[in-house]
């Protein structure tokens, strides 16, 4: 346990270091996506002696957001960060356009069709674009259910938002 005086003199990790630490924090409902890949992590900076982490909520009622906040806090506390403030920022609203290329590829590999700007929904199993919507809503707020008409497999689609 360090005292307040110790933290004052200890070197503060820069934003890039904090981002690296947070790479282990993932979406609890889609564990192959880190917060960075999901586009939720908006900003990291120091305000006086407090580390500010700014995140954008995905869906307003998404229960995973609470878990992500708790995981960010636990990760940074374990790295010795004492003064921490996690702020939710609504503007600009989160969009699936912020999911990184690495995140889109991870979704595909995990069996979830990634959101495409073209609106096309391709089967993550066989790659066919011959797919139909089963339901606009799925097991989490961010997903819809589709079916492949070629390989006949049902699959989740990460909705464009």
- Does position 126 bind Zn ion by CB under 5 A? yes
- Does position 59 bind another protein by CB under 8 A? yes
- Does position 136 bind another protein by CB under 8 A? yes
- Does position 128 bind Zn ion by CB under 5 A? yes
Are β-strands 131-135 and 112-113 bridged in parallel, bridged antiparallel, or unpaired?
Answer: unpaired
- Does position 135 bind another protein by CB under 8 A? yes
Q: Which does 147 bind (CB under 5 to 8 A by kind): another protein, Zn ion, none?
A: none
Contact 138, 156 (CB under 8 A): yes
Q: What is d(CA 18, CA 11) in angstroms, rounded to the nearest whole number?
A: 13
- Does position 13 bind another protein by CB under 8 A? no
Strand-pairing partners, residue 156, are: 112, 145
Strand-pairing partners, residue 44, are: 53
Smallest gap, in angstroms, from Cβ of residue 87 to another protein? 9
DSSP 96: G
Q: Which residues bind another protein (CB under 8 A)?
A: 57, 59-63, 90-93, 134-139, 141, 145, 159, 161
């Amino acid at each position: 346990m360090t005292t307040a005086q110790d933290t004052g003199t200890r070197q503060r990790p820069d934003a890039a270091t904090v981002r690296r630490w947070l790479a282990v924090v993932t979406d609890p409902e889609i564990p192959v996506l880190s917060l960075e890949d999901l586009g939720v992590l908006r900003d990291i900076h120091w305000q006086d002696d407090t580390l500010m982490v700014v995140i954008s909520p995905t869906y307003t009622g998404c229960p995973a957001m609470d878990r992500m906040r708790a995981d960010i806090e636990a990760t940074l506390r374990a790295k010795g960060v004492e003064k921490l403030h996690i702020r939710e920022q609504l503007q600009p609203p989160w969009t699936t356009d912020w999911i990184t290329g690495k995140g889109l590829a991870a979704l595909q590999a995990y069996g979830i069709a990634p959101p495409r700007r073209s609106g096309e929904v391709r089967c993550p199993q066989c790659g066919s674009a011959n797919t139909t919507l089963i339901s606009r809503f799925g097991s989490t707020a961010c997903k819809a259910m589709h079916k492949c008409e070629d390989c006949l497999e049902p699959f989740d689609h990460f909705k464009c938002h």
